[in-house]
């Protein structure tokens, strides 16, 4: 039995899960794409290498920058965003923002995003997606931005949709499951929604962290007083 599943890095299938399915006789053919290039790589029949995302599609060129970023050129790369300038797509070349490595056979393994980590003032590496996703898992939370780069502790900017109930209590319960450096010491609930026009969201609604932190610098500084 063969199943094909196209994934993005944030929805990556775990290596253990892929191997467990294989042990059951089910081959999941891991693949990779982004909104700007729907399908970039895939594991083919007879060449399904776990935990890679496979090899490039025909007429698709993938290079790996010295820092590990994957650069893609191919017919599936979008021309850009209507009416908007972008830095990650230039002349048909997509800077994915994903980090990976390519073996001699062309199979690619993903291992993170370029800006997936912050380093606190005490040198602790904190995974941004891990913490932000836990905050967004709280009912009523629509978006969260983790802050803590070169800071003594982590804080967060939080956006709500609808009612959230006892947010402080839920944050405390979340913190209990995290290591001390990962815990959110303070947070601020934002009233103004994030927007593309303000440069806070990309056209496909990903948060531009640097812009958000610049726009709400006063709120951030208040959490470190």
Q: Each residue of 15-49: pLDDT tens digit?
A: 888 999 999 999 999 999 999 999 999 999 999 99
**Stretch 67-93: mean pLDDT:** 89
CB 48 within 8 A of CB 5: no
Per-residue pLDDT for 155 more than 90? yes
Q: Which pLDDT band, with edges at 50, 70 and 90, does 218 fall under?
A: very high
CB 156 within 8 A of CB 145: yes
For residue 91, what are its two tokens? 């002349």
Question: With b meaning 16 or more CB within 10 Å and e meaning fewer, what string describes 7-25?
Answer: eebeeebeeeebeebeeee
pLDDT tens for residues 86-130? Answer: 888 988 999 998 888 999 999 999 877 777 888 899 988 788 988
Residue position matching structure tokens 């094909």? 4
Q: What is the pLDDT of residue 3?
A: 37
Q: Which residues contact 87 (CB under 8 A, 6 or more apart)?
A: 95
Query: What domains lie within the chain, and their CATH numbers?
Result: 2-113 (2.30.38.10), 117-222 (3.30.300.30)
For residue 98, what are its two tokens? 């994903």
Q: Is the dihedral of CA 130, 132, 133, 137 positive or negative?
A: positive
- DSSP 8-state code for residue 86: -
Alpha-carbon Rg of the chain, whole angstroms? 20
Per-residue pLDDT for 10 more than 60? no
Q: Which pLDDT band, with edges at 50, 70 and 90, does 11 fall under?
A: low
- The pTM assigned to this predicted structure is 0.57
* CA distances from residue 13 to 18, 48, 90, 99, 110 in whole angstroms, order as listed: 7, 14, 30, 16, 11
Q: What is the pLDDT of residue 201?
A: 92
**Stretch 169-180: mean pLDDT:** 95
Residue 149: CB atoms within 10 Å: 16
Per-residue pLDDT for 74 more than 90? yes
Structure-model confidence comparison of residues 4 and 180, the more confident one: 180
């Amino acid at each position: 039995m063969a199943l094909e599943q196209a994934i993005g890095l944030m929805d990556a299938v775990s290596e253990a899960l892929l191997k467990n399915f294989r042990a059951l006789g089910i081959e999941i053919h891991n693949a990779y794409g982004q909104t700007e290039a729907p399908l970039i790589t895939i594991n083919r029949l007879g060449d399904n290498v776990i935990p890679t995302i496979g090899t490039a599609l025909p007429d698709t060129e993938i290079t790996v920058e010295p820092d590990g970023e994957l650069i893609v050129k191919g017919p599936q790369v979008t021309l850009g965003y209507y009416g908007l300038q972008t830095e990650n797509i230039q002349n048909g070349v997509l800077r994915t923002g994903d980090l990976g490595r390519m073996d001699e056979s062309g199979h690619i393994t993903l291992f993170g995003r370029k800006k997936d980590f912050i380093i606190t003032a005490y040198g602790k590496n904190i995974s941004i997606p891990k913490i932000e996703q836990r905050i967004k898992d709280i009912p009523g939370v629509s978006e969260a931005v983790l802050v803590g780069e070169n800071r003594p502790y982590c804080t967060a900017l939080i956006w709500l949709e609808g009612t959230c109930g006892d947010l402080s209590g839920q944050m405390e319960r979340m913190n209990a499951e995290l290591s001390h450096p990962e815990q959110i010491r303070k947070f601020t609930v934002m009233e103004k929604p994030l927007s593309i026009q303000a440069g806070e969201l990309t056209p496909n609604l990903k948060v531009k962290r640097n812009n958000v932190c610049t726009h709400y610098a006063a709120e951030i500084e208040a959490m470190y007083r």
